[in-house]
Amino acid sequence: MKIIVSIKQVPDTSGKVAVNPDGTLNRASMQTITNPDDMNALEAALKMKDATGCKVVVVTMGPPPAAGMLREALAMGADEAVLVSAREFGGSDTYATSQVLAAAISTIGVEDDDIVMCGRQAIDGDTAQVGPQIAEKLNLPQITYAADIQVDGKSVTVKRMLEDGYMTIKTQTPCLITCIKELNEPRYMSVGGVFEAYSKPLATFNYETLKDHPLIDATTIGLKGSPTNIFKSFTPPQKGAGMMLEGADKDTCEKLAGILAKKHII
């Protein structure tokens, strides 16, 4: 059994967010982290490794510095890492990103008892599209928003979070699961893990590696293969300071109604 975890390097938005004059993120000037939901996906995979001894492979598509994030995943306990990186893949929207990742994951190999794991959503692009798109392109059953995962042989049972409750879904491996933060508490790297990380395999898949894969051609990858067009990007205006009315008496309610009426809200 093998678990392939797709992880993405994202700007650390808990610090200062730098925006270019054209409204795009100034990624170069910001610190990067592993996307938080992806840390939960990795932790779930490492827990399965602890329990069963299965292999954990992490994969990312990104620029060469994303290798640093992969080393951190190896230091946490992953066995192998794959960096998917090439100029031809740059400018990809979610459709083209999932096309390349699906090609990379199928090149790593998805066997009968394997599971592919993703985060639910990346904190920068925020679409939650890439995981489900990878599943579609690899023709795998998918379960999204996993808050609990139980694996028993080829049977996979997932407690899936809904807006107002949970649903339990059963499927079979091979399958793809997207994970949410409620699933677990990601572990830290250990000192021993950091040393070991540098002797574990980290492969790079470039355009040459993937160009003959059926999912890859110039019309399905990079900017040319991206059906999304951005017509306008902008920074939303800052919200004004809020106003707090204390109390629930008649006067306060009348005052609140007056303010709302003046703003044509009621």
Ligand X SMILES: Cc1cc2nc3c(=O)[nH]c(=O)nc-3n(C[C@H](O)[C@H](O)[C@H](O)COP(=O)(O)OP(=O)(O)OC[C@H]3O[C@@H](n4cnc5c(N)ncnc54)[C@H](O)[C@@H]3O)c2cc1C
C-alpha 240/C-alpha 228 separation (Å) is: 33
The H or E element containing residue 194 is helix 191-197
CB of 49 to ligand X, least distance (A): 18
C-alpha 19/C-alpha 17 separation (Å) is: 6
Among 108, 128, 169, 203, binds ligand X (CB under 6 A): 128
Residue number of the CB closest to ligand X reads: 125
Under rule CB under 6 A, which residues in 60-99 are in contact with ligand X? 60-62, 90-94, 97
Residue (75 or 86) nearer to ligand X, CB:
86
Residue (160 or 250) nearer to ligand X, CB:
160
Per residue, the 3-state secondary structure of 56-99, as one string, reads EEEEEECCCCHHHHHHHHHHHCCCEEEEECCHHHCCCCHHHHHH
Stretch that binds ligand X, among 139-147, 169-177, 207-215, 226-234 (CB under 6 A): 226-234
Among 83, 122, 140, 176, binds ligand X (CB under 6 A): 122
130 binds ligand X (CB under 6 A): yes
CB of 189 to ligand X, least distance (A): 19
Question: Looking at residue 161, what DSSP letter applies?
Answer: E
Stretch that binds ligand X, among 119-127, 137-145, 181-189, 252-260 (CB under 6 A): 119-127
Instruction: Find where tokens 């629930």 sit.
Output: 248
Measured CA distances, 26 to 10, 32, 108, 205, 228 (Å): 12, 12, 32, 26, 21
162 binds ligand X (CB under 6 A): no
CB of 98 to ligand X, least distance (A): 7
Per residue, the 3-state secondary structure of 21-60, as one string, reads CCCCECHHHCCEEECHHHHHHHHHHHHHHHHHCCEEEEEE
**Number of residues this chain uses to bind ligand X (CB under 6 A):** 31
Residue (171 or 226) nearer to ligand X, CB:
226
Contact 166/160 with Cβ under 8 angstroms? yes
Stretch that binds ligand X, among 44-52, 124-132, 186-194, 208-216 (CB under 6 A): 124-132
124 binds ligand X (CB under 6 A): yes
Under rule CB under 6 A, which residues in 43-62 are in contact with ligand X? 60-62
126 binds ligand X (CB under 6 A): yes
Stretch that binds ligand X, among 69-77, 116-124, 167-175, 212-220 (CB under 6 A): 116-124
Q: Is 176 left (phi over 0), alpha (psi -120 to 50) or beta?
A: beta
Under rule CB under 6 A, which residues in 1-20 are in contact with ligand X? 6-8
Cβ atoms within 10 A of the Cβ of 174, count?
A: 21
Residue 123, helix vs strand vs coil: coil
* Binding interface with ligand X (CB under 6 A): 6-8, 35, 37-38, 60-62, 90-94, 97, 101, 118-119, 121-122, 124-131, 226, 228, 230
